[in-house]
A = this chain, B = another copy of it.
């Protein structure tokens, strides 16, 4: 029995969005599962002294260009929603609420939220929008709205975020394969090679 690979991401991360199209196929090709783990990148930024990349001098304009170029290469749509980079507490909470019940459906929700944001340009910060997206994949809108405000669900996202940072996770996407960390959409080829070869 091989261990699943871990896919850590923030719902506001364009590079995480790009990776979301590819990570499952990369794992499936070698018979692995993927555990999807959203967390709050802003909390990691506090730990690393960083700020959102797109807001930084010089690096910001380059990264927007690189994100668009990366999307064109992968032939996937990419737009930047109003409010980007946006808070993702509501999205993360909805994910973990559902993940405790149906991990496969939670993954579908994660993909739907990413596409709502970066393919459709919707600001997924408000809980209403998260609930809309959830309803679009067949979930109960009111149930999702309630879940987002449930203390235990809020606590779960906080715990996941703190635990990720404590383990040295600081970016999005951030993939862990058998204890080996890979940061960035541009490391997915290495993730694939590592999975196939067992490392180097």
Contacts and interface: CB of A to CB of B under 8 A. Distances in A.
A58 B48 contact: yes
Contacts of A193: 73
Given A58-B47, A59-B48, A168-B62, A184 B183 contact: no
Nearest to A194: B69
Contacts of A168: 58, 61-62
Nearest to A170: B58
Contacts of A61: 168
Contacts of A104: none
- How many copies, total? 2
A51 B56 CA distance: 13
A44 B61 CA distance: 15
B186 A65 contact: no
Q: What's the interface size class on A, roughly?
A: 20 to 34
A57 interface: yes
A64 to B, nearest CB: 12
A69 to B, nearest CB: 7
Interface in A112-157: none
Interface of A: 44, 47-51, 56-59, 61-62, 65-66, 69, 72-73, 165, 168-171, 181, 183-184, 186-187, 189-190, 193, 200
Given A65-B181, A184-B186, 18 more contacts: A44-B58, A47-B57, A47-B58, A48-B56, A48-B58, A49-B51, A49-B56, A49-B57, A50-B56, A50-B59, A58-B165, A58-B169, A62-B170, A62-B181, A62-B183, A72-B200, A73-B193, A186-B186
23 contacts: A47-B57, A47-B58, A48-B56, A48-B59, A49-B51, A49-B57, A50-B56, A50-B59, A58-B168, A58-B169, A58-B170, A59-B171, A61-B168, A62-B181, A62-B183, A72-B200, A73-B190, A73-B193, A73-B200, A184-B186, A186-B186, A186-B187, A189-B189
